[in-house]
Amino acid sequence: MDVEVLGNVGARFKLVARGARPSFINAIRRTVMAEVVIPAVEKVFIAENSGVLYDEILAHRIGLVPLKGGEGLVRPSECDCGGKGCPRCEAILTLEVEAPEDSFTVYSGRLKPEGSVFVANNDIPLAVLNKGQKIALEAHARLGSGKEHAKWQPVSCAAIKYEPIITVDPEKCSLSARCVEACPKRILAIEGNALKVTSIWDCTLCKECVEACPNGAISVSYNTANVLLALESEGSLSPQELIYAACDVLKNKFESIRISLENKEAS
C-alpha cells in the first residue's frame, strides 16, 4: 500500500491510500469516529448563573466544547474509584465571570484549566450576559470515545471515497465546453484542443458532465483500489494523531484476538 497526503490545511487532512481495500480504510475512519479516546466535560457544578440561559443548556454547551490534553488521566471505567469521579479520572475546568456591560459574550477561552485538560478553541460562544449578570461553575472533564456520546467524537468530518475516473473520447468530443459549465466542482477545462481534468479528486461522481455532453464523449467511473480518506479534526488531536490513535486501537484489538486464541490453545 502506498499513501500520499493530498492536503493538510489546519484541521483538514486528506490522504490517498493506493492499493488498499476500501474496507480497511473505512475501518480506520470508523475507529477515528467511534473509538479514539479524548476528553470532554461530563459534569458541570453551577454555583451561580444569573444569565438567561438555563443551567442545563449552559452545561450542554460546555459539554460540546472541544478539549485537549488529558495526559495521565485514566478512563472512569478503569479507575479505582469505580467511575464515581476522582483526580485520576477527572480534570477540572472553572469559569467565573461577571458581565461588565450589556450583550457581553462569554467565550470558551474563559474555562480555566486546573488539571491536564484545556480548551482546544478559545472562541466558542457559551452565553451572552447583560451587565452585572454572573456565571460561576466548575466543569469536570473525563476521557471517553465517540461511541459513548458525540461530544467525545474527535472529528466533525470523516469520509472516504473511491478514486474517480473521467474518460474523454477525443474522437467524439466537439469541445462544446458544455461539460465545463455543467461541472459543479469546476474540474474540467479546455486546454488547447483537448478537454482536461484539472483536479480529479474533487470529482463527486455526480455525472453532470456526462449528462451535459451532446456527443456522449465523457464517461465517469471509479477505481476501488485507490481510496481517499478525508478528516476534519475538531481540535482535540491533529488529523495525523487521530489516524495514529485509530491504528493503535485496531492493532490492540487484533493483538487481543491473537492472545486470546493462544491462551485457548495452551489450555
Report the residue from 6, 81, 194, 200 that binds Zn ion according to the rule CB under 5 A: 81
Q: Residue 253 interacts with Zn ion (CB under 5 A)?
A: no
Identified binder of Zn ion from the candidate list 11, 38, 79, 243, rule CB under 5 A: 79
How many residues are listed for the chain in this entry?
A: 267
- Residue 246 near residue 37 (C-beta atoms within 8 A): no
Assess 20 for contact with Zn ion (CB under 5 A).
no
Q: How far is the CB of 81 from Zn ion (least distance, A)?
A: 3
If one asks whether residue 86 binds Zn ion (CB under 5 A), the answer comes out as: yes
Which one, 89 or 135, has the nearer CB to Zn ion?
89
Cβ distance to Zn ion smaller for residue 88 or 172: 88
Footprint on residues 99-158 left by Zn ion (CB under 5 A): none
Stretch that binds Zn ion, among 83-91, 182-190, 231-239, 251-259 (CB under 5 A): 83-91
List the beta bridge partners of residue 222.
164
Burial class from Cβ neighbours inside 10 Å (0-12, 13-18, 19+) for residue 103 reads exposed
Provide, rounded to whole angstroms, the least separation between the CB of residue 90 and Zn ion: 7
- From 38-46, 88-96, 221-229, 239-247, span contacting Zn ion (CB under 5 A): 88-96
Which of 47/81 has CB closer to Zn ion?
Answer: 81
Cα–Cα dist 78/43, whole Å: 18
In angstroms, give the least distance from the CB of 82 to Zn ion.
Answer: 7
Place of cell 444569565: 51
129 and 51 Cβ atoms separated by less than 8 Å:
yes
CA 31 to chain centre: 11
Which of the stretches 1-9, 22-30, 74-82, 114-122 binds Zn ion when contact is defined by CB under 5 A?
74-82
Stretch that binds Zn ion, among 49-57, 80-88, 172-180, 190-198 (CB under 5 A): 80-88
Handedness of CA 246, 89, 107, 150 (dihedral sign): positive
Tell me the window of 32-40, 73-81, 92-100, 108-116 that interacts with Zn ion (CB under 5 A).
Answer: 73-81
Give just the sign of the alpha carbon dihedral 149, 151, 153, 159.
positive
Residue whose CB is less far from Zn ion, 44 or 89: 89
CB of 88 to Zn ion, least distance (A): 5
Beta carbon nearer to Zn ion, 78 or 181: 78
Is the alpha carbon torsion for 68, 69, 73, 75 positive or negative? positive
Cα–Cα distance measured from residue 191 to residue 100, given in angstroms and rounded to the nearest whole number: 61
Sheet with 91-98, strands from edge to edge, namely 38-49, 134-144, 91-98, 112-113
Q: How far apart are CA 134 and CA 23, in angstroms?
A: 51
Q: Determine, following the binding rule CB under 5 A, whether residue 72 of this chain makes contact with Zn ion.
A: no
Decide if residue 89 touches Zn ion (CB under 5 A).
yes
Q: Which residues contact 31 (CB under 8 A, 6 or more apart)?
A: 246, 249, 250
Binding site for Zn ion (CB under 5 A): 79, 81, 86, 88-89
